[in-house]
Amino acid sequence: MEQQIDCSFGTEIILLAEQLAGHSDDPSALTVAYLTRAHQTAGAEIAGWMIEAGMQVRIDAVGNVIGRYAAADPEAPVLMTGSHFDTVRHGGRFDGRLGILAPIVVVRQLHQRGEQLPFHLDVVAFAEEEGLRFRSSFLASSALVGQFDFARLEQKDADGVTMREAMCAAGLPGTEEAIAACAVEPHRLLGYIEVHIEQGPVLLERGLPVGVVTSIAGNVRQRTAVRGLASHAGTTPMPMRRDALAAAAEMVLAVERRCGDPRYAAQALVGTVGMAGVPQGAANVVPGQCEFSLDVRAADDATRDAAVADLDAEFARIAARRGVELSLSQTMRVPCATCSPRLMDRLAACIDAAGVPVLRLASGAGHDAMVMARITDVCMLFVRCGNGGISHNPLETMTAGDADVAARVLLDFLQRTATECGR
C-alpha cells in the first residue's frame, strides 16, 4: 500500500486560505483593501485562529493582528514571522496569507503538544502591504519598524476618505502617537522569517516545492501626469493637437523599451505601467490630460535608479516635442533588501533535512521582509506557485503538499532557532 504522506499542515493551510478568501470587498473576485469591512472581518477571523492556536493576540494602531506564542520567560527574545492579509484587486488566495497561516498551524501543533519555545514567537498579520486603497504600500511594516510617514495619514482614497478617517472608522486611534507606539524594540529580536508564495515560475520549472530567498528587489513608484489641450475631435487638425494620451502612450512604450533592454536582464530590471486614465475624457474630445503609474524594480538600486532617471528624461523629451506639460511625483521608494546569510543558511539546512534540494533565488516581488530588514536579520521561504507562476490574479494557486513542506520547514526552523537560543 502506498505510504500515506501526512499532509495535515498543508491541507489545513489550504482550507484556512479558502475560508479567509470568503472576506472580500468584491463578490466576484478576492479584493481586500486596507480597513474596509472585509479587511476588518478577515482580521477578526485571523485573530480567532491565533487565539485557538494558543497565542495572545493584540491589534496595533495600524490594524496589524499580532499573535504571540509566549515563552515561559517574559524577558525572552522575540522571533518574528508573518506576512500581509490585504490584497491587490482580484488577487490570489495565498499572496501574503500563506505567511500568516503556516505559522498559525505550526504553533497550533506546538501548543497541542504543550511545547513552549525559549523565545516569544510573534506572528504578524500585516494589515497593509499592497497599497491598493491609498497610494503607498508597506504601511503596516513601516509602522512596526518605527518609520511610518505620518504625512500619509492625510492621503485620500478614491472616495475622498483620508487614511486617518479610515483608521478612526475602523476603531483605530488614528493618531501619530499611537502609530509611533507600534514600533517594536529591535534589540529584542532574533530575526524575522517570512513564508511567501513565489509569485513566479522558477520553483515550478525546477520541480522544487520550496526555495531560499537571497534578496528582494527594490521598488520605485511614480505618478506621471501629462497635460495637453482638450479640443474638438472633429475640427482639430492632427498637426495642431496637444494630445495628452498620445504623448502618454509614447511614454509607456519608452518604459517597455528601456526596461526590456536585454543588457539589464541579469539585474532583473522590470518596468510596469499598471494604471492609466484620462480624467473627464470623452470620445469626441482630444484628451487634454492623462495620468499613469510607473513601477520600476531591479535586483540592485543603482540599476533601478538609472532606469528611472533615463525614463524621466525621455518623458521630458516626448513632452517637449509634443507641446504638452509633464509632472512627476514619486509615490514610493523601497530599497533592495538582502537576506541574512546566517538565517539563509539555517533555512537551507531545514530544506535539506526535509529531503529537498536547496535552491537560492531572488525575489522580484516586494515583501514586508524588505522593510523588517531595516531593523533585524531577515530570511524568506518561497513556496512553489502553480499555474505557470501566475500571481496578482485569481488563478494564483499552490498545492497542499507544497504548503505542508513549507510548514514543516518552518517548524524545523523554529526548533533550530530554539537550539541556537539555548546555547
Please give the DSSP secondary-structure letter assigned to residue 251: H
Closer residue to ligand HGY, CB minimum distance, 361 or 365: 365
Per rule CB under 5 A, is residue 96 in the interface with Mn ion?
Answer: yes
Closer residue to Mn ion, CB minimum distance, 227 or 333: 333
CB of 129 to ligand HGY, least distance (A): 5
Q: Which of 166, 96, 94 is nearest to 125 (CA)?
A: 96
CB of 34 to ligand HGY, least distance (A): 12
Closer residue to ligand HGY, CB minimum distance, 225 or 332: 332
Closer residue to Mn ion, CB minimum distance, 220 or 286: 220
**Size of the residue set binding Mn ion (CB under 5 A):** 2
CB of 368 to ligand HGY, least distance (A): 9
Cα(345)–Cα(363) distance, rounded to whole angstroms? 17
Contact, 335 vs 301, CB < 8 A? yes
3 state SS of 277: strand
Question: Which stretch, 30-38, 90-98, 200-208, 320-328, contacts Mn ion (CB under 5 A)?
Answer: 90-98
Per rule CB under 6 A, is residue 368 in the interface with ligand HGY?
Answer: no
Binning the chain into helix, strand and coil, the percentages to the nearest 5 are 40, 20, 40
Question: Which stretch, 103-111, 129-137, 328-336, 337-345, contacts ligand HGY (CB under 6 A)?
Answer: 129-137
Give the bridge partners for 83, in sequence order.
125
Contact, 288 vs 238, CB < 8 A? no
> What does 137 interact with, of Mn ion, ligand HGY, none (CB < 5 to 8 A by kind)?
ligand HGY
Cα(168)–Cα(51) distance, rounded to whole angstroms? 25
Place of cell 503538499: 401
Closer residue to Mn ion, CB minimum distance, 243 or 295: 295
Say how far residue 292 (Cα) sits from the centre of its chain.
21
Classify strands 285-286 and 231-232 as parallel, antiparallel or unpaired. antiparallel
**Size of the residue set binding ligand HGY (CB under 6 A):** 5
> What does 366 interact with, of ligand HGY, Mn ion, none (CB < 5 to 8 A by kind)?
ligand HGY
Cα(170)–Cα(64) distance, rounded to whole angstroms? 12
Cα(360)–Cα(382) distance, rounded to whole angstroms? 9
Per rule CB under 6 A, is residue 50 in the interface with ligand HGY?
Answer: no
CB of 125 to ligand HGY, least distance (A): 15
What's the Cα-to-Cα distance from 367 to each of 23, 127, 146, 197, 300, rounded to whole Å? 22, 13, 17, 11, 15
Question: Which stretch, 93-101, 153-161, 276-284, 303-311, contacts Mn ion (CB under 5 A)?
Answer: 93-101
Please give the DSSP secondary-structure letter assigned to residue 266: G
Give the bridge partners for 65, in sequence order.
59, 125
Contact, 375 vs 226, CB < 8 A? no
Closer residue to ligand HGY, CB minimum distance, 71 or 220: 220
CB of 363 to ligand HGY, least distance (A): 8
CB of 261 to Mn ion, least distance (A): 26
Task: Tell which one of 318, 365, 370, 403 touches ligand HGY (CB under 6 A).
Answer: 365
Q: How many CB atoms lie within 10 A of CB 195?
A: 26
Place of cell 521561504: 381
194 burial (CB, 10 Å; 0-12 / 13-18 / 19+) is buried
Closer residue to ligand HGY, CB minimum distance, 69 or 192: 192
Per rule CB under 6 A, is residue 129 in the interface with ligand HGY?
Answer: yes
Task: Tell which one of 45, 122, 130, 396 touches ligand HGY (CB under 6 A).
Answer: 130
Task: Tell which one of 137, 141, 222, 417 touches ligand HGY (CB under 6 A).
Answer: 137
CB of 137 to ligand HGY, least distance (A): 6
> What does 288 interact with, of ligand HGY, Mn ion, none (CB < 5 to 8 A by kind)?
none
Cα(315)–Cα(402) distance, rounded to whole angstroms? 45
Give the bridge partners for 212, in sequence order.
360, 381
Closer residue to ligand HGY, CB minimum distance, 130 or 402: 130
Please give the DSSP secondary-structure letter assigned to residue 309: H
Per rule CB under 6 A, is residue 60 in the interface with ligand HGY?
Answer: no
CB of 366 to ligand HGY, least distance (A): 4
CB of 390 to ligand HGY, least distance (A): 13
Closer residue to ligand HGY, CB minimum distance, 157 or 368: 368
Place of cell 475640427: 235
Per rule CB under 6 A, is residue 86 in the interface with ligand HGY?
Answer: no
3 state SS of 340: coil
Residues that bind ligand HGY (CB under 6 A): 129-130, 137, 365-366
Residues that bind Mn ion (CB under 5 A): 95-96
